[in-house]
Amino acid sequence: MQLVHTLADLQSALAPYHHPAVVPTMGNLHEGHLALVQLAKPLGDITVATIFVNRLQFGPKDDFDTYPRTLAADCDKLHAAGCDLVFAPSETELFPQTQGFTVTPPDQLANILEGEFRPGFFKGVCTVVLKLLSCTHARSAVFGKKDYQQLKVIRQMVRQFNLPVNVLGGETLRSPEGLALSSRNSYLSPAEREQAPQLHAALATLAQAVRSGSTDFASLQEAAMQSLRRQGWLPDYVVARRQSDLQEPQAGDALVVLAAARLGTTRLIDNLEV
């Protein structure tokens, strides 16, 4: 496996290949990321992981400075997973000037849910993902379904810009108790880690109610939020939405339930397709 830090070295490493399959990440990798690498491997003639903590997608009060940077350990894991090439640029390499051109995703998809609570988040994600797909010459790209809305936004960006990239979503990996694997789980104290599967449990209860035919989404969502609050969480949202565009559901829509909530100082997100 080769590790490159510059755009020039990336271009040299990619020169012999025609179909890079790319897994963009911010590092601090866990089994969920490595499963995305496994998904990417058969899709291309070279498997590329990018590791870049993207300042543009962090708000002023977010954890940009403290986000774990674990490049050596990440490379060991990627090597063992059979990744061929890692692109880990510095900020000045990827953003040599202030980024004047940015990608602003449409409000109805990007200013709801995560976008409502993290203003500018999807603009930051889209801008860096467009750059990463472009400089890796991605023909396939794999993103985790744990970031469900992010996957929707990226798919729509790729479609609307006619990028020659096949976007795939990888299933969420979970601990035996149901906690979705996430880089931010490492922020949880041992007591919070014990409690953290409650987020998945709240979603599972909501999904079950929806599956059984209940359509009073407002009451179901409120009950899920109350239950989380009673257990010490600060929920941002717990909602049932339609899978296709994350808008309020109509009869017959395929649904997804999504949640974001804070446990102590850690904000976790999760979702379940119904």
Establish whether 200 is a catalytic residue.
no
Q: Which of residues 184-203 bind ligand PAF (CB under 6 A)?
A: none
Q: How many CA atoms lie within 13 A of 210 on its CB side?
A: 28
Select which of 5, 18, 30, 33 is catalytic.
33
Contact 104, 119 (CB under 8 A): no
Is residue 191 packed enough to be buried (19+ CB in 10 Å), middle (13-18) or exposed (0-12)?
exposed
Closest CA to 224 of 239, 214, 243: 239
Closest distance to ligand PAF from the beta carbon of 212 (Å):
33
Examine residue 270 and tell whether it contacts ligand PAF (CB under 6 A): no
DSSP 97: S
Closest distance to ligand PAF from the beta carbon of 128 (Å):
5
Examine residue 170 and tell whether it contacts ligand PAF (CB under 6 A): no
Examine residue 54 and tell whether it contacts ligand PAF (CB under 6 A): yes
Interface stretch with ligand PAF, choices 24-32, 106-114, 199-207, 240-248 (CB under 6 A): 24-32
CA distances 167 to 32, 159, 246, Å, are 17, 10, 18
Examine residue 129 and tell whether it contacts ligand PAF (CB under 6 A): yes
Q: Which residues pair with 266 in a beta bridge?
A: 263
For ligand PAF, the closer CB: 118 or 249:
118
One of 78, 86, 125, 158 touching ligand PAF (CB under 6 A): 125
Examine residue 24 and tell whether it contacts ligand PAF (CB under 6 A): yes
DSSP 140-193: EEEEETTSHHHHHHHHHHHHHTT-S-EEEEEPPPB-TT-PBP-GGGGGS-HHHH
Helix, strand or coil, per DSSP, at residue 206 = helix
Examine residue 235 and tell whether it contacts ligand PAF (CB under 6 A): no
Examine residue 114 and tell whether it contacts ligand PAF (CB under 6 A): no
Catalytic residue positions, numbered: 33
Binding site for ligand PAF (CB under 6 A): 24-26, 54, 57, 125, 128-129, 143, 147, 150
